[in-house]
């Protein structure tokens, strides 16, 4: 983390990857699958959001654990800012998913288990910020929100990964709808997809790192004054 905050080669990498993703994602040929057709291109803009969200939330939980171990308020800033970024990813993921669903399923929200689960996981993290705001004492706030962060994260995992698989879902990859296995056949799509995952995750990390530095500076100023 400290090293990545100082260097910036990964920022150039991120920009290059995203440029490739946007150009390649919109222009490269895609396989003709039933129902999906050209909407398959949303793969590069929707799915990476969830990868990014899980990645960022995982980072947030790791820093929450670190905070509880060391009581260093720097880790609490890392943790909360990463969670903030995760919410942004989640909202983008839901919105892109809804746009896509409007064209393929006919309506933006069709009570699909995956949609519901992702909405609930957003609620969990919004509640995290409500909790943070409702505790005045700073150390107590950091500690308790850290505890809630860990508690909620481990309950979000079954929600996102296990439950939707038990019910029938319209989502690609479930119930006979073409999903990842169909994409695997197409190496063109795959190339752009992996770049997209890496690119969007790096972008999320970039935004989070700016926020982290801003909060750290705020904290320093407060301590100085």
Which residues of the shown chain bind another protein in the complex (CB under 8 A)?
68, 120-121, 123-124, 127, 130-131, 134-136, 139-140, 143-144, 146-148, 150-152, 154-155, 158-159, 162-163, 166-167
Closest CB to another protein among 28 and 65?
65
Closest CB to another protein among 113 and 172?
113
- Measured from the CB of residue 124, what is the shortest distance to another protein in angstroms? 4
Closest CB to another protein among 18 and 117?
117
| CA–CA dist 116, 97 (Å, integer) | 12
- Measured from the CB of residue 61, what is the shortest distance to another protein in angstroms? 11
Closest CB to another protein among 170 and 207?
170
- Measured from the CB of residue 8, what is the shortest distance to another protein in angstroms? 36
Which letter, b or e, does each residue of 137-154 get, where b requires 16 or more Cβ atoms within 10 Å of its Cβ? eeeebbbebbebbbebbe
Q: Are 91 and 123 in contact (CB under 8 A)?
A: no
| CA–CA dist 178, 169 (Å, integer) | 12
Q: Which residues contact 156 (CB under 8 A, 6 or more apart)?
A: 57, 121, 124
Closest CB to another protein among 154 and 180?
154
- Measured from the CB of residue 153, what is the shortest distance to another protein in angstroms? 10
| CA–CA dist 207, 196 (Å, integer) | 16
Q: How many CB atoms lie within 10 A of CB 37?
A: 13
For helices 43-70 and 73-104, give the axis angle rounded to 10 degrees: 160
- Measured from the CB of residue 138, what is the shortest distance to another protein in angstroms? 11
For the chain, how big is the Rg over CA atoms in Å? 19
Rounded to a whole number of angstroms, the distance between the first and last alpha carbons of the chain is 28
Q: Which residues contact 119 (CB under 8 A, 6 or more apart)?
A: 94
Closest CB to another protein among 33 and 131?
131
- Measured from the CB of residue 24, what is the shortest distance to another protein in angstroms? 37
């Amino acid at each position: 983390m400290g090293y990545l905050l100082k260097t910036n080669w990964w920022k150039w990498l991120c920009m290059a990857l995203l440029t490739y993703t946007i150009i390649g994602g919109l222009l490269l040929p895609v396989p003709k699958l039933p129902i999906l057709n050209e909407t398959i291109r949303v793969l590069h803009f929707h799915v990476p959001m969830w990868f990014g969200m899980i990645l960022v939330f995982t980072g947030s939980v790791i820093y929450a654990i670190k905070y509880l171990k060391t009581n260093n308020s720097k880790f609490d800033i890392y943790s909360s800012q990463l969670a903030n970024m995760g919410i942004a990813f989640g909202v983008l993921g839901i919105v892109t998913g809804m746009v896509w669903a409007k064209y393929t399923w006919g309506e933006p929200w069709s009570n699909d288990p995956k949609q519901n689960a992702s909405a609930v996981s957003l609620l969990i993290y919004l509640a995290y910020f409500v909790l943070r705001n409702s505790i005045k004492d700073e150390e107590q706030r950091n500690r308790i929100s850290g505890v809630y962060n860990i508690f909620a994260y481990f309950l979000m995992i079954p929600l996102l990964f296990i439950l939707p698989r038990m019910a029938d879902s319209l989502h690609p990859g479930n119930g006979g709808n073409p999903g990842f296995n169909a994409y695997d056949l197409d190496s063109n799509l795959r190339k752009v997809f992996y770049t997209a995952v890496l690119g969007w995750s790096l972008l999320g990390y970039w935004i989070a790192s700016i926020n982290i530095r801003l909060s750290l500076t705020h904290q320093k100023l407060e301590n100085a004054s």
